[in-house]
Amino acid sequence: MNKLVKLMALSLIMYFNTSAKDYIIMSPNKKNMIKISVDKKISWSVFRNNQSLIANSPMSMSLGNGQKLGASPEVLKTEMKKIDRIITAIVPVRNKYIPEVYNEIIMMMKGNYSLEFRAYNDGVAYRFVTAFGKQFIDIKDEEVTFNFSNDCQVYLPKEDNPELQSHYEAEFQPLNLKDISSKTYGYLPLYISSPTGVKMVVTESDLEDYPNLFLFGTGNNILKGKFPKVILKSKIKDNSDRNEEVVEKADYHAKTMGNRTFPWRAIVIGSSDKELLESELVYKLAKPNVLKETAWIKPGKVAWDWWNDNNIYGVNFKSGINTDTYKYYIDFASDYGLEYIILDEGWSRTTTDLMEPNPQLDLQELVRYATRKKVGVILWALWKPLDQNMEGILDQYVKWGIKGVKVDFMARADQYMVNFYKRVAEATARHKLLLDLHGAYKPVGLNRQYPNVVNYEGVKGMEQNKWEASVTPVHNTTLPFTRMVAGPMDFTPGAMLNSNKDEFHINFHSPMSRGTRAHQAAMYVVYDSPLQMLCDNPSNYRAEPIYTRYISRFPTVWDKTIALEGKIGEYVVVARKKGKSWYLGGMTDWTARTFQVPLDFLDKGKYKIEILKDGINVDKHAADYRITVSNVNSGEVLSLDMAAGGGYTAILTLAN
């Protein structure tokens, strides 16, 4: 059957099974279905295996000129598409080759706008498209509603800022929909579990020249969207270099071009939690790569200074933000095959002068030394000073030989900040610099359009162990099913001081993790992170060279990802492939667990398997681990056991 016949057949299926004002589109595997109803309003409903997930949920967009898209709608014509192709990822976060398979309906409406709906095997999405010419339009409001068919469980990253600004570092708290009041809201991505066990993650993609979406409760099964308004005037708070307050804001949330596509409102859908681990819906919905040259983009592992407070020891110099200390980091990175070091806050003379190094640092000598050792240097930068002199600062970094920039403390989600992300992504790409976005909102696909955007924070990560105790194994096994569904996250694993459940204590200068050493090691397989940190003190790593050599072997990008086990807040087990080798990673909450894992995903042959698992005395000493080496064959069953708060990793290489 040729493509034209297939398209006609699909169109016939749609119309013969719908009424005059209803349109139906199904995913290629027939599991996910969207019904679009056109009456006094436009609304959509979402089904999984004929089970209602989202009941009629209206959508509209109110413009500054009084026009309301979606009110009294009239469909002029529709167009159906059936897409089946492969995306080759420039920076493969989960998979190098990503199947892009979906059915789409485009509805051209009276009033110079249209709506696009897509049904994928792993989710659904819609967006507005306008055709008002080249003039600017004000978006006063966009009606985004999710009317869930039942009272579902939600993992809410709760916020309370009245301006809808956020560091995106909240804890995901399990609640029922009906318990979320109209004054309570959270940011995306938002995990939802239906009473029948269908798993959903609500998020957005292709966010350009438009603010982030936040969802408010209603005290029932409905979540409603709101957006931060355009900031007309803001000021830095007294005695701060980064904390802003809004002085004046507009009555609209975007002023934008009349001809454009708007962000995708997306729902990742799976029959189980583990299916969420394989979805790349946000990436698929994003704009394709725009960079002509990408060979210079090199993901990798990073020796990081800030978390361990430069607290190195056993050396003959005073540790701190100085040349000798960072040469020590460079030597460590070189000895263990790490591609980069970061000079975090403190490397510059002041946090607002990003072109003048700290007088204790000979930056050019450090870059020369690092280059000789084949280690790249990445610099930290506050976003606002960078925004004020982006070209000048980036030009200087290139002259110094810097390889990337970690931009920090945006903590905003409005239209201006979204545009800043794109400007800095484009500018760093033009200067052939990697970009790591911290103090950032969640990934929305910018890393596909600009693959030099190698990581995002936007997560309650390891750094918070320096001042609180909430980053637990429960939290760590929640993140893969919530925040990580949107894209890569700079959680910064690698703690060498580890604690069991009741042993943790706060120490800013020598911080520790909650959970076992093997739990930390597993993050290098489980967590998506093309620019992956080794957060701890190089002196601690050097004291345990066998362990450090082991974790330094993990890739940061992958050819293939397979979810093996998963339940939010309890456990996660994944397999990853890079080249001819496979890697296993498992993490558990405070409950010890054992899984029987069939190795049927392996290519045929005998493999050498190097396992790092919790040690026999890990209940007394959380850093206790054991490494074993043996052989296995494809198809064998591997017993994967983890202690309370524990983890498991394995490196499988084809045996000679």
With a CB cutoff of 8 Å and minimum separation 6, the contacts of 97 are 86, 87, 88, 89, 559
Asked whether the beta carbons of 408 and 383 are under 8 A apart, the reply is yes
DSSP letter for 630, please: E
Q: Which residues pair with 88 in a beta bridge?
A: 97
Which backbone phi and psi does 623 adopt, to 5 degrees?
A: -85, 0
- For residues 491 and 489, what is the distance between their CA atoms, to the nearest angstrom? 6
d(CA 271, CA 122): 10
Catalytic residue among 122, 305, 408, 436: 408
Characterize the bridge pairing of strands 581-588 and 647-654. Answer: antiparallel
Residue 647 CB partners (closer than 8 Å, separation 6+)? 515, 516, 518, 519, 520, 521, 522, 523, 585, 586, 587, 588, 613, 614
For the sheet with 453-456, list strands across it. Answer: 453-456, 434-437, 404-408, 376-382, 340-343, 300-303, 531-534
Neighbouring C-beta atoms of residue 91, cutoff 10 Å: 23
Hey, how many other C-beta atoms are within 10 angstroms of the C-beta on 630?
A: 9
**417 vs 415: CA distance, rounded Å:** 5
**513 touches 520 (CB < 8 A):** yes
- Of 597, 612, 639, the closest CA to residue 518 belongs to 612
**What one-letter code names the amino acid at 579?**
G
Give the residue carrying structure tokens 């607002």. Answer: 352
Three-state SS at 635:
coil
Instruction: Quote the Cα angle for 255-260-264, to 5°.
Output: 95
CB 588 within 8 A of CB 477: yes
177: DSSP letter: G
Q: Give the closest residue to 213 by CA, choosing from 238, 185, 171.
A: 185
List the one residue out of 414, 417, 411 whose CA is nearest residue 227: 414
The question of whether 408 is a catalytic residue gets the answer yes
Report the length, in residues, of the chain.
Answer: 656
Give CA–CA dist 518/92, Å, rounded: 25
463 among known catalytic residues: yes
Which of 204, 208, 463, 570 is an active site residue? Answer: 463
d(CA 94, CA 488): 9
H/E stretch holding 449: helix 446-449
Query: From CA 193, how far away is CA 149, in angstroms rounded?
Result: 12
State the catalytic residues: 408, 463
